[in-house]
Structure 1
C-alpha cells in the first residue's frame, strides 16, 4: 500500500513538473513571439518612415526644381523687359521729343504721350528689377516689400501699408527671395481678383517669423476651387520648402487674410 502511494505521489509530481515545465516553455515561447512581433513592427515602422522620408525628399527636390525653373524664367523675363522692351520705349520717347522739336509748337497730346512713356519706362525698370534674382540678393526682404508697395501705390488703385517690428529678416538670401515671391503672388492675387482698395503687410519676429497680408477685397471660399489654383499652390509650396506653414482666412465679401509662419528652427540668426 505504501509502495502504491509513493508511486502515485511520484506520478503526480511528474505530472506537476510537466505542467510547470510546459507553462514555462509556453511563457518563454510567448515572450519570444511578442519580442519578434515588437521587433518586426519597429523595423516595419522604421522602413515606412524611411520610405516616407524618401518620398518627402523627392517631393521637396521636385518642388525646388520647379521653383528654380520659375526663377530662371522670371529672370529671363526681367532681362527681356529691360533690354528689349525698355529700349523700344526709350527710343519711342526720344522720337516723340524730336517730333516735338520739329513741330515748333508741341501739342498737348505729345506732352501727355511723353509723360506717359516716362512713367511706363520707370515702371518697367522697377518691374524688371523685381524679377532679377541677383538684384534681389543685394537687398533685405523688408526693403523689397516696401519698394513693391511704393510701386503699386503709385498706380493709385491700391493703398498698401507695410509694418515691421524688425529692421531685417533673419533669413539667408535665397530664403528671402523665396518668401518675397510669396508676397508678390499674394499682391498679384489681390490686384487681379480681390477688387480691394487697401492692403496691409506686417512682418514680426517672435519665436520665429510671422508675415500677415490682409486686404479688404471681396474675399473667397478657401475650400472652393480657387484653393487649387496655381498661384495659391505656388505660395504653399514655397512656404513648405522654407519649413513653414501658410493659411488663408477668407469668406465672400469679408476680405482675405494670409498668414505665414516660419518656426525659429528655420530662421538663420547669422543671416
Structure 2
C-alpha cells in the first residue's frame, strides 16, 4: 500500500514537473516571439525613419538647388547684362569712364559673390568635391568680405569617407553656423577647428554677444533646427552660450560601441 502511495506521488510529481516544464517552454516561446515582433517593429520604425530622413534632406536640397539655379540663370545673367551695358557706355562716352569704373567693379564683385553663393547652394558641386576642401573654399570666400576674422584649423591626418548625406548635412550645418554668426552674433572673430580621428568633430567658437538658451527667439529656434538636422545623420550638436560670452557649437559624430 505504501509502495502504491509512493508511486502515485512520484507520478504526480513527474506530471506536475512536465506541466511546469511545458508552461516554461510556452512562456519562453512567447517571450521569444514578443522580442522578435518588437525587434521587427523597431527595425521597421528605423527603416521608416531613414526613408523619412532621406526624403527631408532631398526636399531641402531640391529647394536649395532651385534657388541656386535661379541665382545663376536670373540674377547672374542680369548682372552680366548690366556690366555689358556699363562697358558699352564707357566706350560711347569716354569722359564717363572714370566715374563708371567703381560701379562696374562693384557689379563685377556682386556677380562673383552671387556665383559663389550659387555654387555653395548646389549640392551636386559639393558631392563632386571633398567636404573639407569645400568648407575651406567657403571660408576663403567669407574672408574676402573682411566682415569677420576667421581662424581655421584641421587635423586631417586620416582620410575620412563621408556618405553623401553626411557631406550635405554637415556642410549645410556649417553654412548655417557661419550665417548665424554673420547675421546675429555681432562677432569680430571666429575659431573653427575640425578633427577627423578618432571621429569627426567640428567646433565653431565666436566672440559675439551670445544668447540665453532658455529664450524662444528666432536665433535659438534656428539653432534647435540645426540640432534636428544633425540627428538626421546620427550626429550630435552641442550648443554652449551665455549672454556677453559668445557661442560655441560642437558638431560630433556619434560613436558606436
Larger radius of gyration: 1
Whether contact under 8 Å (1:249, 1:257) holds in the other structure is yes
Equivalences for residues 146-185 of structure 1 within 5 A: 146-166=136-156, 169-172=159-162, 174=164, 175-185=166-176
Aligned residue for 1:135?
Answer: 125
Is residue 44 of structure 2 the alignment partner of residue 54 of structure 1? yes
Equivalences for residues 41-190 of structure 1 within 5 A: 41-106=31-96, 110-166=100-156, 169-172=159-162, 174=164, 175-190=166-181
Partners of 1:166 and 1:36 in 2: how far apart? 56
Whether contact under 8 Å (2:204, 2:248) holds in the other structure is yes
Whether contact under 8 Å (2:157, 2:196) holds in the other structure is no
- Which of 214, 219, 228 matches 2:210? 219
Deviation at 1:193, TM superposition (A): 2.8
3-state DSSP class of the match of 2:200? strand
Is residue 251 of structure 2 the alignment partner of residue 260 of structure 1? yes
Q: Flag the 1:69–1:231 CA change in 2: closer, same or farther, 3 A.
A: farther
Partners of 1:24 and 1:58 in 2: how far apart? 50
Aligned residue for 1:233?
Answer: 225
Deviation at 1:75, TM superposition (A): 1.6
3-state DSSP class of the match of 1:206? coil
Partners of 2:186 and 2:239 in 1: how far apart? 17
RMSD of aligned alpha carbons? 2.8
Partners of 1:231 and 1:56 in 2: how far apart? 25
3-state DSSP class of the match of 2:44? helix
Whether contact under 8 Å (1:149, 1:161) holds in the other structure is no
Partners of 2:222 and 2:150 in 1: how far apart? 24
Whether contact under 8 Å (1:203, 1:209) holds in the other structure is yes
Aligned length: 254
Q: Flag the 1:264–1:20 CA change in 2: closer, same or farther, 3 A.
A: same
In structure 2, runs of 5+ residues without a counterpart are none
Q: Flag the 1:139–1:112 CA change in 2: closer, same or farther, 3 A.
A: same
In structure 1, runs of 5+ residues without a counterpart are 1-9, 266-271
Partners of 1:117 and 1:168 in 2: how far apart? 42
Deviation at 1:58, TM superposition (A): 0.8
Whether contact under 8 Å (2:206, 2:247) holds in the other structure is yes
1:103-161 CA distance string (max 9 Å, x none): 43338763332222121111111111112222223321121111111222222222222
Q: TM-score, normalised by structure 2?
A: 0.84
Q: TM-score, normalised by structure 1?
A: 0.80
Aligned residue for 1:5?
Answer: none
Aligned residue for 1:202?
Answer: 193
